[in-house]
């Protein structure tokens, strides 16, 4: 199989277990799950060209696998990278606002074990000599997954992609970050302070401007309001959450003519909505997960964090890891 990744380029995949996993409905479904929410709405609130930020969960899943393979980690951990997002619902983290308040954005993680067990993936893994139960414990894969503010393959892949799609860095710069990374004792370490700090700064900007800002919260709540209403009215079911974006939109469209409120929510969802942050006049006390990293790097012959070298970064880490709070009014 030949796969072209926007950051890593042309990749030839030949491993039988990987090819079998890619063919599963659980992985194929991710081709129709947007990474950032819903792009027509996202483009509208940000006034961005529609071609810039279409990013599917499938691309990220393949990206995590490719990144791990390029660093020659175990096949088991490469597999974990490929399958780590199979339990994401439609519109990705917008689902966290259907089933919660979005502070942690971890609904997909919470249901991963159940989703995994009910999928076809354990049988495939067993047929290739792997132990399926190993994939239920994230501690078995420290290169793929780590808590913030540490770096991990999951975090590195999606931020490299967002750097390019949001034009916060070009492909050449993204490749330089990639080439200046290494793995030491199961930890991602930059080869020097310059690239570590630059990576952390761009990560912070992307989080602040594109991921945890008011526009993102407005988008997530607009999507969640439509889905929650559609579920309450039985136009869709909770099981539909684990189909695809396209399938759910198609189902909802069938009822637009007969339900005026659904139509109004759908019009907002399609991009025709306004919002504000106003403590005196708001509909929702809204939260958004905030992300920031504190990379390790080689510095004067030792492995150190950015915050060990730049004390200001320690304060930034403390502040940016707090969930963002907004007084959200939607129109």
77-112 pLDDT per residue, tens: 999 999 999 999 999 999 999 999 889 999 999 999
320 belongs to a structural domain: yes
Q: What are phi and psi of 118, to 5 degrees?
A: -85, -5
206-225 residue pLDDT tens: 999 999 999 999 999 999 99
262 belongs to a structural domain: no
Domain count, the chain: 1
pTM of the model: 0.95
Q: How confident is the model at residue 36 (pLDDT cuts 50, 70, 90)?
A: confident
Q: How confident is the model at residue 45 (pLDDT cuts 50, 70, 90)?
A: low
* CB burial of residue 227 (10 Å; 0-12, 13-18, 19+): buried
Tell me the longest C-alpha to C-alpha distance in the chain.
Answer: 69
274 belongs to a structural domain: no
299-310 residue pLDDT tens: 999 999 999 999
CA 205/CA 305 separation, integer angstroms: 19
What is the model's pLDDT at position 108? 96
Q: Where are the beta strands (DSSP E) in the chain?
A: 2-5, 9-12, 181-184, 187-190, 275-277, 284-288, 296-299, 302-305, 324-330
225 belongs to a structural domain: no
Q: Is the pLDDT of residue 148 over 80?
A: yes
Compute the average pLDDT of residues 284-301.
97
190 belongs to a structural domain: yes
Nearest 5°: CA angle at 299, between 296 and 305? 30
What is the model's pLDDT at position 48? 62
Among 208, 229, 206, 223, residue whose Cα is nearest residue 275:
223
53 belongs to a structural domain: yes
Q: How confident is the model at residue 203 (pLDDT cuts 50, 70, 90)?
A: very high
Q: How confident is the model at residue 53 (pLDDT cuts 50, 70, 90)?
A: low
Q: How confident is the model at residue 150 (pLDDT cuts 50, 70, 90)?
A: very high
261 belongs to a structural domain: no
Give bridge partners of residue 2 from the DSSP assignment: 12
Please state which of the ranges 50-54, 114-118, 146-150, 180-184 shows the lowest mean pLDDT.
50-54
Q: Which domain holds residue 184?
A: 2-213+290-326
Over pLDDT 90: what percentage of the chain?
A: 90
Residue 41 sits in a domain of what CATH number? 1.10.3210.10
248 belongs to a structural domain: no
242-267 residue pLDDT tens: 999 999 999 999 999 999 999 999 99
């Amino acid at each position: 199989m030949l796969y072209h990744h926007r950051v890593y380029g042309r990749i030839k995949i030949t491993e039988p277990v990987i090819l079998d996993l890619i063919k599963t409905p659980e992985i194929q479904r991710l081709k129709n799950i947007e990474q950032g929410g819903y792009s027509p709405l996202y483009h509208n609130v940000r006034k961005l060209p529609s071609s810039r930020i279409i990013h599917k969960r499938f691309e990220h899943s393949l990206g995590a696998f490719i990144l791990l393979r390029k660093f020659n980690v175990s096949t088991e951990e490469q597999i974990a990278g490929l399958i780590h997002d199979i339990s994401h619902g439609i519109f990705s983290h917008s689902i966290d606002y259907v089933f919660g308040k979005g502070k942690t954005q971890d609904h997909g993680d919470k249901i991963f074990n159940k989703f995994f067990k009910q999928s076809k993936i354990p049988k495939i893994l067993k047929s290739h000599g792997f132990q399926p139960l190993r994939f239920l414990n994230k501690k078995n894969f420290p290169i793929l997954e780590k808590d913030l503010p540490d770096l991990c393959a999951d975090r590195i892949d999606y931020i490299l992609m967002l750097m390019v799609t949001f034009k916060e860095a070009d492909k050449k710069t993204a490749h330089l970050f990639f080439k200046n990374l290494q793995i030491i004792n199961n930890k991602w370490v930059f080869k020097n302070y310059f690239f570590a700090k630059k990576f952390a700064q761009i990560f912070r900007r992307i989080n602040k401007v594109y991921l945890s800002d008011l526009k993102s919260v407005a988008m997530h709540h607009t999507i969640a309001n439509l889905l929650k209403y559609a579920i309450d009215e039985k136009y869709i079911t909770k099981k539909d959450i684990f189909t695809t974006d396209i399938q759910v939109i198609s189902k909802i469209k069938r009822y637009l003519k007969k339900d005026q409120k659904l139509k109004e929510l759908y019009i907002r969802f399609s991009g025709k909505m306004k919002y504000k942050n106003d403590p005196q006049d708001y509909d929702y006390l809204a939260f958004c997960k905030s992300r920031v990293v504190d990379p390790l790097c080689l510095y004067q012959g030792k492995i150190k964090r950015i915050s060990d070298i730049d004390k200001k970064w320690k304060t930034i880490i403390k502040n940016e890891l707090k969930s963002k709070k907004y007084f959200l009014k939607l129109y």
